Structure 1
């Protein structure tokens, strides 16, 4: 690979842009051509997602699409962003653990505590082993630099929450995948603007986008014969990688004594990261609060997720996903426009808009029912 880079350099061709193009192309093609085989095996071996209480589908659908996403991401990072595996020694090991746990859960359904143990192990790998952690809150809640051990605890909790939060929003066609593409694009653009030291992370973002777009081709298909879900394998993998890119994004703005690395400063960096990942954060918090308010266990499944509320309004999966993603993109735009506002005030604004989005479908549903009653 280094000889190839030298060859391109001699001809004045930017290796970075070549990597961007090839990483997108190969990540898309690997996923695109892997899924039909996975679908065929899933149907032959009856490895299907059975409709349940929380399900928004009525037929059995293959749910091992996450394997293709992992396959694509694992190969393409190793070729086009191999620096990541040098910088973060435990990154690949973490992905392997998540693959194993996800596939086991998609096939035989693991107990929740076993999945949680695996997620803790993965978080320990990346937080302690690779030193990917939240080191500062930039004045949020009056906190700046965080004690090392507290930093580890907060970072592990962040990984676990985001891994499970992405799992929870994966309830309708296109939502988890589409939102992953949007988040990766936003982080990728941010990394690109912040300089070439972050280029491997830009390529990682492009690889995620390519592989997930190929998955969405099948996930959003109207033909049952090719339709597939990403399953826990895909949602946990994407949740983990977006938590990883999120913490790396925050870390860029912390002063470090590294030579030849430009220093940036943005007090609102943690809130911008929250804004980008606002959908899974708000959806998970809202569901837990509603369950506790109703004196139910926060781990009991229900239909209080944002996507379930939109389906109650008789919207299709595609429209529901489009509306949800569009609204939360609006929140990201607000966060960017107000990025120089006081960090605590900005967090209040972002969370308020986030929860407003969670309850807008309820308001519309009530208004719709009142209108029907008045017409009758």
Structure 2
């Protein structure tokens, strides 16, 4: 790869843009051509997702699409963003563990505590081993620099929450995949604007986008024989990678004594990161509050997620995913526009808009029923 880079530099071709283009193209193609084989094997071996209480589908669907996503990202990131694996030694090991746990859960359904133990191990590897952690809250709740042990604990919990939160929004066609594309694009653009030291993260973001777009081609298919879900394998992998890019984004704005590495300052960096990942955060918090209010376990399955509420309004999966993503893009826009105001006020604004979005479908449903009653 380094010889190839030398050839490009001597030819006057910008290496970075070649990596972006080839990373995107190959990640798309690898996923695109891998999924039909996975569907064929899944149907032959009956490795299918059975409809359940939380399901929004009525028939068995292959649910191992996450294998293709991992396969694509694993190959392309190792080639076009190999610097990440030099810098973060335990990144690839963490992805392998998540792949194993995800496949096991998609095939035989693992106990929740076993998945949690694996997620703790993965999070500890990347936080402690690779030193990817939240070091500063930039004044949120009056908190600035975190102590080492507090930083490690807080970062591990953040990883676990985001991995599971992203898993929970994977309930209708196109939502988890579409949202991961948007988040990766927003983080990728941010990394690009923050300088060439962050270019490997830009390439990684493009690789994720390419892989997920290819998956969405099949996930949104109207043909029964070509439809597939990403399963826990895909949702945990994407949740982990988005948590990784999120924490790296916050960490960029910390002044660290690294030679020849420019550092930046944006007081609202953690809140902007929260705004980008606001959907899984708000959706998870909302369903937990509802379950606790009804004296149920936070882990009990139900249909109180935002996407379930939109389906209740007789919207299709595609329309529901589109409206949800569009609304939360609006929140990101608001957060970016007001990024220079007080960080606590901005956090309140972002969370308020997030929870408002969670209850807009309920308000519309009540108004529609009242209108029917009066007629």
TM above 0.5: yes
> What is the CA–CA distance in structure 2 between the aligned matches of 1:333 and 1:133, rounded to whole Å?
26
> Is the aligned partner of 1:261 residue 2:257?
no
Deviation at 1:256, TM superposition (A): 1.0
C-alpha RMSD over aligned residues: 0.4
CA deviation after TM superposition for structure 1 residue 196, in Å: 0.2
Counterpart-to-counterpart distance in 1, 2:172 and 2:224: 15
Residues 58-86 of structure 1: CA deviation (Å, up to 9, x unaligned): 01000000000000000001100000000
SS for the counterpart of 1:144 is: strand
Query: How far apart, in 2, do the equivalents of 1:86 and 1:368 lie?
Result: 56
Q: Show CA shifts across 1:212-253 (max 9, x none).
A: 000000000000100000000000000000000000000000
Residues 247-326 of structure 1: pairs in structure 2 closer than 5 A = 247-326=247-326
Partner residue, 2:161: 161
User: Following TM superposition, by how much is the alpha carbon of 1:258 offset from its aligned partner in structure 2, in angstroms?
Assistant: 1.3
Q: CA deviation at 1:150?
A: 0.4
Whole-Å separation in 1 of the counterparts to 2:54 and 2:2? 50
1:1-376 maps to which residues of 2 (within 5 A)?
A: 1-375=1-375
Aligned length: 375
2 CA distance for matches of 1:151 and 1:257? Answer: 18
Task: Tell me the secondary structure at the aligned position of residue 225 of structure 1.
Answer: helix
Deviations along 1:185-222, whole A, 9 cap, x unmatched? 00000000000000000000000000000000000000
CA distance in structure 2 between the partners assigned to 1:281 and 1:61 by the alignment: 27
Once residues 192 and 4 of structure 1 are traced to their aligned partners in structure 2, the CA distance between those partners, rounded to angstroms, is 22
Post-superposition offset of 1:31:
0.2
Distance 2:10 2:96 in 1: 37
Per-residue deviation, 1:263: 1.8
Structure 1 segments of 4+ aligned residues over 6 angstroms from their partners = none
Deviations 1:130-162 (A, max 9, x none): 000000000111011000000001000000000
Cα offset, 1:305, TM superposition:
0.1
Q: Distance in 2 between matches of 1:66 and 1:99?
A: 8
In 2, Cα distance between the equivalents of 1:38 and 1:263? 44
Residue 261 of structure 1 and its aligned partner are, at CA, apart by: 1.1
In the aligned structure 2, how far is the partner of 1:111 from the partner of 1:256? Answer: 41
Q: What is the SS of the residue equivalent to 1:365?
A: helix
Q: Whole-Å Cα distance in 2 between the matches of residues 157 and 350 of structure 1?
A: 21
How far did residue 297 of structure 1 move? 0.5
1:262-283 C-alpha deviation (Å, 9 max, x unpaired): 1210000000000000000000
- TM-score, normalised to structure 1, is 0.99
Q: Distance in 1 between matches of 2:2 and 2:37?
A: 33
- State how far apart, in whole Å, the 2-side matches of 1:262 and 1:162 are: 28
Uncovered stretches (5+) of structure 2, i.e. residues with no partner: none
